[in-house]
Homo-oligomer: A and B are copies of this chain.
Amino acid sequence: MSTGDDSGLTEETVFTWGAPPLKFGAGASDEIGHDMAQYGVRRVLVLTDPGVGALGVPQRVAGNLGRYGIEARVFDGVHVEPSDASFAAAVEYAQEHGPWDGFVAVGGGSAIDTAKAVNLLTSCGGELMDYVNKPIGRAEVPSQGLKPLVAVPTTAGTGAESTAMCVLDILSMKVKTGISHWRLRPALAVVDPLLTMTLPPEVTASAGMDIVCHALESYTAGWYADSARRRPEERVTYCGSNPVSDLWCEKALSLIAKSFRRAVHSGAEDVDARTDMLMAATFAGMGFGNSGVHIPHANGYPIAGMVKEYRPSGYPQDEPMVPHGQSVSLTAPEAFRFCFPSAPERHLRAAELLAPGMERLPDPAEQLPRALVGLMSDIGIPNGIGAVGYGESDVPGLVPGTMKQQRLLATCPRPVREEDIERILLSSVQNW
């Protein structure tokens, strides 16, 4: 088949972008019955994790669906940090009790990503590995449209409600990968700040750093027009920074600057700060979900995956873990020092958005790292990978886990070699 590219252009001039429709605001999650009824659905599966399930929100959503004549059942078996095994368990539950006309995901990225996978596999058939990104899976395209999925985030972090991908661990291969296709995007993002009021300060801080990294990595990702022209078949979800992703990420950074510290320190009473943070999370998702993330997120994979004995306060103490938002932010200051020469003006602008009015440092490459460590130390993020259990001697063991994430590193504005990652990790043992 011909490529169909009639343009004859040799440089890249095209970017792509997509986002779900949005219903945003306090009380928005109390309208899901009406919203789902618009799709003419009769039976809906509500997916959540046990922690969120215990708070009663999914049951409240199910009750609201019932009031519109929609039969709803809650599956509260979503695994936090999902894997191929946990996806399979959720799919099995859905198949056993289905068929379903639609899905609602209530929770963090784990619940929303699990619902995306359940929707894909129950709508299109096949096996998980058919759809997982190459080279781990076969990256097949969904054969048809999926059922409507309404995504309801309960943390201000991942932005999974905005994106067209889901992330999972492949347990047998000890690797984190994903499924990425525009048909995975939720039919509607229902974003209700009232659901985030009771998040503990430590969770608010960590999840919020995920937003910061989404926005900063997207904003500093390679500019879409700097790559070679792609044929239509070659276009990928992550097309590099572009005018639309920039718009969302700039606004997300401004919201972060205004409200992150308040959300951590007095979030239980501060609806405005919670609203700004949840908006920042969704907006950053609208951005990075199309442009991409790079080194800090790539480093987050081994930092979280190879955890030793670190048990963060504010989280369940039953097993060691590095929360996702910590794992992706601990090397961010040093990563942005490394990326600075590729686009100095972007790094300076990002620093100004994140820390408006901050003094200009003699070395401009220090501006964004300084803004970041100022924020991270204020909100109680651990001081470097040393504070979550890694010493200099652990670094060589971490590097391969980062280098496996070529899909992310491809978005970096500079070529990244193993020795670059090693140096970034070594310099991130202590950040301030």
A interface residues (Cβ-Cβ under 8 A, vs B)? 1-9, 12-28, 30-31, 33-35, 38, 40, 60, 63-64, 67-69, 141, 143-145, 182, 232-233, 243-244, 247-248, 251, 279
Contact = CB atoms under 8 A, between A and B. Distances in A.
A290 B6 CA distance: 34
A7 B21 contact: no
How many copies the complex holds: the figure is 2
B232 A4 contact: no
Given A144-B40, A247-B251, A279-B243, A30 B7 contact: yes
A13 B144 CA distance: 36
Given A18-B21, A21-B18, A27 B13 contact: yes
Contacts of A247: 247-248, 251
A3 B35 CA distance: 12
Given A19-B19, A34-B232, A25 B13 contact: yes
Q: Which of A3, A14, A40, A182 has the most CB of B within 10 A?
A: A14
Given A4-B33, A279-B243, A25 B15 contact: yes
24 contacts: A1-B68, A1-B69, A4-B30, A4-B31, A4-B67, A5-B30, A6-B27, A6-B30, A8-B27, A9-B27, A13-B26, A13-B28, A14-B23, A15-B25, A16-B24, A18-B20, A19-B21, A21-B182, A31-B232, A33-B232, A34-B232, A145-B145, A247-B248, A247-B251
Given A4-B34, A6-B64, A14 B21 contact: no
A4 B68 contact: yes
A67 B2 contact: yes
B14 A27 contact: yes
Given A9-B26, A27-B9, A4 B64 contact: yes
